[in-house]
């Protein structure tokens, strides 16, 4: 028997024509790395000699398994265990490899490890190296498919709205009210804070520049027009993308992972009507209200800075009213309806497309936020171009 600190060694020898593996030493995860001596044959060992084998942990069977797989060319490492036989016969060679000469406990472990054939055909999901042509082709295919997916999703959402108009959309009214509350009232604190600060920043920066011309009073025009045309609606859009769009994606994504969406389908409930429609309606209804609110709070922030720098509040307010006519004031609110729809569609679509795992839900949420913020900015640029052409 070996001493407790003998190094772990595997040594190939031959007895006649047969390769023999001599296993010796103490095998411990925290001990020295094993040494393999002798030239490895091209066939598995015909028998083992374990006279000098001391204590061992999993590192011994793990190394032996790797060695046996090497000698049998990896794929041939096992013979499938017959289905009907739950326990392999100990006298029979496990996996077509003899285990003669191994102590009982080690033999039991090796029989288990070799008991089920390695599925060499299963080793495919790792991405292979691609050529530039393949990469470009596959990327364009993916982008094309993603665009088609967006168009399909928008189409299905419109169909769902159509069913709502003719009174055939099935969803829980309570869900709609709950979503309205979540993306309306509950968003007020963060919208207030951000819009107020945006108003303050605009007034500070603008006021400083205008003071050079002795035109401080026009800070009211600057803050008012910037808020109602652009900043109010864009900031609200970005806040709602991060807050509500992400929540939609995470909620629907985890429902998908839990097969809750399949459960809706098997009851004949359309997941679009049941999940997407209330969220789309809620956000389309709430975004204009939040935008009006954000505009007012932003103007208030600007007014505070104006008053602090010596402009009377009444004068500031009147200057604001002169600067903003009804058309200007309604531009942001008009855009907000489209932003709301875009955010809801991005959030819900990513949730519906999420992979069925917790990592998939995380990825869907990230994609939803990125897509909705991008859509808000892209739509805003498109509106800017249209309004310029229309001269409004």
- In whole angstroms, how close is the CB of 30 to other proteins at the nearest point? 7
> Quick one: 120 or 322, whose CB is closer to other proteins?
120
> Quick one: 77 or 371, whose CB is closer to other proteins?
77
> Quick one: 33 or 314, whose CB is closer to other proteins?
33
Secondary structure (3-state) at 16: coil
- In whole angstroms, how close is the CB of 49 to other proteins at the nearest point? 17
- In whole angstroms, how close is the CB of 93 to other proteins at the nearest point? 16
> Quick one: 65 or 337, whose CB is closer to other proteins?
65
User: Which residues, other chains included, contact 353 with Cβ-Cβ below 8 Å and sequence gap of 6+?
Assistant: 149, 364
Write the DSSP symbol of residue 33: P
> Quick one: 103 or 312, whose CB is closer to other proteins?
103
Write the DSSP symbol of residue 270: -
> Quick one: 359 or 378, whose CB is closer to other proteins?
359
- In whole angstroms, how close is the CB of 360 to other proteins at the nearest point? 7
> Quick one: 125 or 133, whose CB is closer to other proteins?
125
Output the DSSP codes for 78-116: --PPPTT-SS--TTSPGGG---TT--HHHHHHHHHHHHS
Task: Record the tokens describing residue 219, joined without a space.
Answer: 């800070």
- In whole angstroms, how close is the CB of 154 to other proteins at the nearest point? 28
> Quick one: 62 or 304, whose CB is closer to other proteins?
62
- Tokens 């084998």 map to which residue? 53
Distance, in Å, from the CA atom of 247 to the CA atom of 245, rounded to the nearest integer, reads 5
- In whole angstroms, how close is the CB of 85 to other proteins at the nearest point? 10
Taking the mean position of all CA atoms in its chain, how far away is CA 192?
A: 29
Task: Record the tokens describing residue 67, joined without a space.
Answer: 């060695």
Contact criterion met (CB below 8 Å) for 283 and 157: no
- In whole angstroms, how close is the CB of 64 to other proteins at the nearest point? 8
What are the C-alpha distances in Å from 292 to residues 204, 228, 242, 258? 22, 8, 19, 38
- In whole angstroms, how close is the CB of 6 to other proteins at the nearest point? 14
- In whole angstroms, how close is the CB of 369 to other proteins at the nearest point? 19
> Quick one: 120 or 374, whose CB is closer to other proteins?
120
Give the residue from 368, 369, 334, 333 showing the smallest Cα distance to 352. 368
Output the DSSP codes for 301-351: HHHHHHHHTT--HHHHHHHHHHH--HHHHHHHHHHHHHHHHHHHHHHHHHH
* Residues lying near other proteins in the complex (CB under 8 A): 29-30, 33, 54-59, 61-63, 65-66, 77-78, 83, 86-87, 103-106, 108-109, 111-123, 125-126, 355-360
Contact criterion met (CB below 8 Å) for 70 and 42: no
Angle, to 10 degrees, between the axis of helix 232-240 and the axis of helix 326-353?
20
């Amino acid at each position: 028997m070996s001493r407790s600190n003998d190094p772990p060694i595997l040594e190939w020898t031959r007895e006649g024509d047969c390769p023999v593996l001599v296993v010796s030493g103490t095998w411990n995860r925290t001990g020295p790395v094993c040494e393999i001596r002798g030239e490895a044959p091209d066939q598995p060992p015909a028998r083992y000699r374990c006279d000098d084998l001391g204590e061992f942990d999993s590192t011994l069977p793990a190394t032996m398994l790797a060695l046996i797989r090497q000698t049998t060319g990896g794929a041939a490492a096992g013979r499938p265990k017959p289905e009907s036989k739950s326990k392999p016969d100990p006298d029979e060679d496990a996996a077509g490899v003899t285990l003669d000469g191994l102590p009982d406990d080690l033999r039991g472990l090796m029989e288990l490890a070799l008991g089920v054939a390695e599925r060499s055909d299963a080793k495919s999901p790792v991405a292979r190296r691609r050529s530039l042509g393949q990469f470009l082709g596959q990327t364009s295919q993916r982008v094309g498919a993603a665009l088609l997916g967006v168009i399909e999703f928008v189409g299905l959402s419109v169909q769902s709205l159509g069913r709502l108009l003719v009174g055939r959309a099935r969803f829980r009214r309570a869900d709609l009210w709950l979503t309205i509350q979540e993306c309306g009232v509950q968003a007020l604190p963060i919208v207030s804070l951000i819009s107020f600060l945006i108003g303050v920043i605009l007034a500070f920066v603008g006021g400083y520049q205008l003071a050079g011309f002795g035109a401080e009073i026009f800070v009211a025009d600057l803050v008012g027009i910037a808020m109602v045309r652009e900043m109010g609606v864009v900031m609200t859009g970005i806040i709602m993308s991060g807050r509500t769009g992400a929540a939609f994606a995470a909620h629907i994504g985890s429902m998908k992972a839990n097969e809750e969406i399949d459960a809706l389908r098997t009851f004949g409930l359309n997941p679009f009507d049941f999940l997407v429609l209330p969220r789309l309606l809620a956000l389309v209804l709430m975004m204009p209200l939040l935008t009006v609110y954000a505009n007012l709070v932003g103007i208030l922030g600007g007014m505070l800075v104006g008053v602090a720098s010596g402009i009377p509040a009444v004068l500031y307010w009147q200057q604001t009213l002169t600067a903003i006519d009804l058309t200007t004031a309604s531009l942001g609110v008009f855009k907000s309806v489209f932003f709301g729809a875009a955010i809801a569609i991005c959030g819900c679509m990513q949730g519906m497309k999420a992979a069925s795992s917790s990592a998939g839900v995380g990825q869907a949420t990230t994609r939803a936020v990125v897509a909705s913020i991008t859509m808000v900015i892209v739509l805003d640029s498109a509106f800017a171009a249209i309004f310029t052409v229309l001269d409004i």
